[in-house]
Structure 1
Amino acid sequence: MYAKIETERLNYIRFNQSKLRSEEYIHLRDAITNDGNLNDIGHLTILPASYIGSPRHVHEYAQDVMSYVRKYGRPDLFITFTCNPKWSDIQNNLFDGQSTTNRHDINARVFRQKLEALMDVIVKLRVFGEVRCYMYSIEWQKRGLPHAHILIWLVRKITPDEIDNIILAEIPNQTIDQELFEVVTKHMIHGPYGVLNINSPCMIDGKSSKRYSRALTSDTITGNDGYPLYRRRSTEDNGQSVMMNIRHQEIIVDNRWVVPYSQLLSKIFQSHINVEYCNSVKSIKNICKYVNKGSDMAVFEVPDADNRNDEITRYQMGRYVSSNEAIWRIFAFPLHERHPVVVHLAVHLENGQRVYFTTENIQQRAAQPLATTLTAFFRLCETDTFTRSLLYTDVPQYYTWNTSSKEFQRRKQGTAVDGHPVFNRCFGENVNDSSQQRGMFLFAIAIDERSRTEIVRIFENS
């Protein structure tokens, strides 16, 4: 059914390309002046960035991530949250004889609610500290379960000596915390693989692509340029181990196979939640590939001159959509979310801006193109003395872009600027726009009673 929906949407774009035709203004003006063939100007089958998941959309999203990095540096935490098909919210809503593979709609709805609850815990309850900005992207495993890759920027950076208080990579002591022990041993053990399970999907050329098993170390080390080496104590150094049944064999598993996790998040959501500390700006390239990847596909192409500039056909080639992703898109759940909003500013040479036109308004566009954010900024500097003290990238903090009139307008909310009738709304401000009490209420309606009690207890003790 979703394949039909997507086909109809793409066909609408294909058959309305006259509304999407674009060209640089200088080329459009020259073509009109020289009596060029107007039917050939801007002739290209475009898949616009407004189509979620298109290459143009993914490229814009990647640029948005880089704007956060330029403004605030590296993210502090990288979190992967995976759907657990054994959640009681899912199991209790199945009919007799059904399994989770029969009800992808329930999987999608429950995971969406759990993801919103997770973001409330991080952003509104500030379990890791005050959040400056965040963004996440939804993906689907080959077996259909959704998972979210989340980047978190904190106002106060996590110092290396605080990592062990936030992230663990060890099996907890069963006698001290039985509940956490069950969650970790059930959801946070990777493997074991290697000679014990050579047919595992993560095995490539006889080695684990996830670099397990990890080395045992008595202290967390943050000297490398990627993720830190978390504390993984051996059994001789008070580390824990557990007996697990692997391929009908009883195997002793120690801390070398534990995926880094947060104690609080694991106990609340009873799922696989991988929490990683971002150690360097260099790691942003590796991290961002998770939130900016396109759709899974395998393409075999025979060159065709007619389809050379057809972006829609290229997008449909080898398109892979699982049942759970189809349900997610039918429900119109977001694939990407971020805060704060990133304002796109145009950068171009004189008369080099993109002009969007139809056959009806082509003459008008050639005679008088619409203003871009760059040309509007130049005009604003001529009339507004305050703007002359700003860099181009700082303008959205004090002005909003009116898409109808194509001009910048002063903000009416934020922090007043001394000596000027202007308000400053800095990026990352008011991420936590609710009180901690209100955040607790909004979060409480999305989780069960036991988890809510656990959160209240933790906050009272802290």
Structure 2
Amino acid sequence: MAEQTQVHREQAGINAAAVRSAETAESTQQRLPRCRKLLFQFEVDMYAKIKTERLSFIRHNQTRLRADDYIYLHDAVADDRNANRLGNMVILPSSFTSCPRYMHERTQDAMTYVRHYCRPDLFITFTCNSKWDEISNELLPGQQSYDRHDVVARVFHLKLKQLMDYITTGAIFGAVRCHIYTIEWQKRGLPNAHILTWLWFHVPSTGSMWPAKQWFTLHERRFPIHARHPTVQHLSVHLENGQRVYFTEANLQQQLQEPRDTTLTAFFKLCTLDDFARTLLYCQLPAYYTFDASTKCWKRRVQGSSVPDHPGIYQTDALARVYTVHPNNRECFFLRIILHHVVGPVSFHHLRTVEGHVCATFHETCRRLGLLKDDAQWREALEEAATVRSPA
């Protein structure tokens, strides 16, 4: 714990030092912005230090935080095996920006929009213009736009936000159903955004898209390279006692006695208490409920459109993405199929019950439900795979 606290302090110290060093103040006569390529080298070095500290934090906590399936963890401890040897080390998580898991997760979320709303109606490329007045006015004497990447990035970010506001709120192309964009940098150093937009219907554009006069404040330092709307809730799927458990040596016994709920097991508990939840499929849940990551439970949404005949229930445009399962993992694969066809389950036992008969496997359940009479599930799997891999 002391080492972890020290890592936090060192990382916070480096982040704060980097921000303070990049300040441009009149008292220092704006020395750093005048250094040009030397400033670039300084910024790259500081960015590399920040990234290194983040990676170092993840690496140093791998030895403390481990992951394993709950059932295997329970059996291993029951056999008096050494807790230090249990579990797999956690690799670079998807929360680390631009890592392979991060990119794969964002791609899967984008395919969720395609699956729900078909192909996008608009593909828009928004590129930074180094001659924008908002950039030129901030340059010091003798400077070019490529000498001030900080100004270029901030102005681009603010203009992109205003563009998205014109597209979504202003509806210059029509009412927007959903959108997603990602930002990348060209080889010459200018940022550009690729925007996908799904429309409800088309409305002709009227007037100029940009107002006659705009005000941009250069106060934001960092901005995300990815944004989307609506939100996509990730839903786990696993067999009974097959959920992933994250544990340390200190909380091992607690995790064995009281494993934390997943989105699936929390859905079972919700269905036992909430009448409206028993009318929903697993993939329909996020539109009406939000998952509290701290308490690991589903809660009714407090905003959105009121659902007729159901007081206190609100519907939003939130989407769900149930994690994919490879067909080789047969039982979990068939469980995922059942979850897309059975409403309001309260347990795994309930999911295996068909007309009063308790099936031995989920494969048998699928056959009794008529989900395996033909090759429909294989066609759906191939179509989903084709959609995910398609560049369209």
Aligned length: 268
Q: Secondary structure at the match of 2:232?
A: coil
Matches within 5 A, 1:235-274: none
Displacement of 1:265: 5.8
User: Which residue does the alignment assign to 1:403?
Assistant: 293
From 359, 363, 371, give the equivalent of 2:253: 363
SS at match of 1:331: coil
Task: Provide the rounded CA distance (Å) in 2 between the counterparts of 1:264 and 1:55.
Answer: 40
Amino acid aligned to 2:80: D
Q: Which residue of 1 aligns with 2:273?
A: 383
- Tell me if structure 2 keeps the 8 A contact 1:397–1:427: yes
Check the 8 A contact 2:178/2:199 in 1, yes or no.
yes
TM-score by length of 2: 0.63
State the secondary structure of the residue aligned to 1:108. helix
Matched with 2:113 is 68
Measure how far apart 1:428 and its partner are.
Answer: 6.6
Q: Structure 1 268/138 Cα, relative in aligned 2: closer, same or farther at 3 Å?
A: farther
Report the AA paired with residue 4 of structure 1: K
- Kindly provide the CA deviation profile for residues 340-376 of structure 1, in whole angstroms up to 9, marking residues without a partner as x: 1111111111111111111110121122210111011
Q: Which amino acid aligns with 2:229?
A: H
Where in structure 1 are there 5+ consecutive unaligned residues? Answer: 167-261, 270-329, 430-462
1:149 alignment partner in structure 2: 194
Residue 121 of structure 1 corresponds to which residue in structure 2?
166
Asked if the contact 2:135–2:152 (Cα under 8 Å) also holds between the matched residues in 1, the reply is yes
Tell me how far apart the structure 2 counterparts of residues 125 and 418 of structure 1 sit (CA, whole Å).
Answer: 29
- Which residue, out of 288, 310, 320, partners 1:420? 310
- The one-letter amino acid paired with 1:112 is H
Q: Report the Cα distance in structure 2 between the residues aligned to 1:86 and 1:263, rounded to whole angstroms.
A: 23
Q: How far apart are the structure 1 equivalents of 2:88 and 2:266?
A: 28
Q: Distance in 1 between matches of 2:68 and 2:311?
A: 39
The equivalent residue for 1:17 is 62
Q: 1:59 to 1:95 in 2, by over 3 A?
A: same
Q: How far apart in 1 are the matches of 2:88 and 2:221? A: 34
Kindly indicate whether the alpha-carbon contact (under 8 Å) linking 2:128 and 2:191 is maintained by their aligned counterparts in 1. yes
User: In the alignment, which residue of structure 1 is the partner of 2:263?
Assistant: 373
Letter in 2 for 1:379: K
Q: Residue by residue, what CA displacement relative to the aligned partner does 1:172-228 show, whole Å, maximum 9, x if unpaired?
A: xxxxxxxxxxxxxxxxxxxxxxxxxxxxxxxxxxxxxxxxxxxxxxxxxxxxxxxxx
Choose the corresponding residue for 2:127, options 76, 82, 91. Answer: 82
Work out the CA distance in 1 between the residues paired with 2:145 and 2:95: 33
**Which residue of the other structure, out of 144, 149, 164, is the alignment partner of 1:104?**
149
| Deviations, residues 89-130 of structure 1 (Å, cap 9, x unaligned) | 111211111111211111111111111111111111111001
Report what 1:332 is aligned to.
222
- State the Cα deviation string for residues 148-178 of structure 1 (Å, max 9, x = none): 111111112x5xxx9xx78xxxxxxxxxxxx
How far the C-alpha of 1:391 sits from its partner, in A, is 0.7
Alignment of 1:314-353 (within 5 A): 331-353=221-243
CA distance in 1, matches of 2:297, 2:145: 51
Q: Which has the higher relative contact order, 1 or 2, with Cα contacts under 8 A spaced 6 or more apart?
A: 1
User: Any idea what the Cα deviations from partners look like across 1:28-85, whole Å, max 9, x if unmatched?
Assistant: 1122122223212224252112222222222221221122122222111111111111
Distance 2:299 2:287 in 1: 11
Partner of 1:437: none
Name the counterpart of 2:79. Answer: 34
- Cα distance in structure 1, aligned partners of 2:257 and 2:63: 19
Counterpart secondary structure, 1:35: coil
CA distance, structure 2, for counterparts of residue 376 and residue 19 of structure 1: 27
Letter in 2 for 1:395: L
Q: Is the 8 A contact 1:20 1:46 kept in 2?
A: no
Q: TM-score, normalised by structure 1?
A: 0.54
8 A contact 2:287–2:318 mirrored in 1: no
Structure 2 SS opposite 1:427? coil
SS of equivalent to 2:125: strand
* Separation in 2, partners of 1:80, 1:27: 49
Q: Check the 8 A contact 2:304/2:314 in 1, yes or no.
A: yes
CA distance in 2, matches of 1:86, 1:428: 39
| Residue of 102, 120, 141 corresponding to 1:57 | 102
Contact 2:180 / 2:228 at 8 angstroms: preserved in 1? Answer: yes
Give the residue type in structure 2 aligned to 1:408.
W
3-state DSSP of counterpart to 1:150: strand
Cα separation, 1, equivalents of 2:246 and 2:231? 24
Report the Cα offset of residue 266 of structure 1: 9.5
Q: Name structure 2 gaps, 5 residues minimum.
A: 1-45, 214-219, 320-392
